[in-house]
Chain A
Amino acid sequence: DAKTTQPNSMESNEEEPVHLPCNHSTISGTDYIHWYRQLPSQGPEYVIHGLTSNVNNRMASLAIAEDRKSSTLILHRATLRDAAVYYCILRSYSNSGYALNFGKGTSLLVTP
């Protein structure tokens, strides 16, 4: 499976934009880029996903590089409730069906 590389941690001030980077240089043409986040003491929750084009939803935006070797999750105005571990995951239709390969993710700290 193609792997992703994320910074271990990032810090942001409340109400400022946050750009969470992810490198996936070995991504294949059929891999979707998924982002999940895990709030403290909770299960992961879906944030956004995309294939080639940039994507927006109510939670965040996903910017995908033209060569698809990297992507950035954008939180437009960070709040204290956005403090979580953010996982960048490549999802492929492997033998594990639609199972997700989680790495360690990026721990986002939001300060008032």
Chain B
Amino acid sequence: NAGVTQTPKFQVLKTGQSMTLQCAQDMNHNSMYWYRQDPGMGLRLIYYSASEGTTDKGEVPNGYNVSRLNKREFSLRLESAAPSQTSVYFCASILTGTTTDTQYFGPGTRLTVL
């Protein structure tokens, strides 16, 4: 049981390049989330998927798109990377409808945009 996995772990892009961050969970969770964390700050929600087939914007969605490929996978795409998107990106998942309500986080992707 790997939990939440993210690829790649590190990435350097040039301004204007595109890339997709991958996230997968093997816990049969319903909801999945993408957060970004800038240095010295807390996490901010980019997009989320409450269930398979649905996606919604969070606090900071501009410059990003997402795809909930299936129940396991939730990807984040940067179409035209900008230096302001330099950050650490965390994916998380949760099994909704229980009393536990624990979010499980992946190890993060450290992205630098030059």
Q: Interface residues, chain A, CB within 8 Å of chain B?
A: 32, 34, 36, 41-46, 49, 87, 91, 95-105
14 contacts between A and B (CB under 8 A): A42-B107, A43-B4, A43-B105, A44-B90, A49-B102, A91-B101, A96-B45, A97-B50, A98-B101, A98-B103, A99-B45, A100-B45, A102-B42, A104-B42
Are B42 and A45 interface neighbours, CB within 8 A? no
- Max chain A C-beta neighbours (<10 A), residue from B35, B43, B44, B96: B43
List 7 A-B pairs, minimum CB-CB distance, nearest first.
Answer: A43-B105, A102-B42, A102-B43, A46-B102, A97-B50, A99-B45, A43-B90
Name A's interface SS: loop
> When each residue 40-55 of chain B gets 1 if its CB lies under 8 Å from chain A and 0 otherwise, what string results?
1111110010100000
User: CB-nearest residue of chain A relative to B90?
Assistant: A43
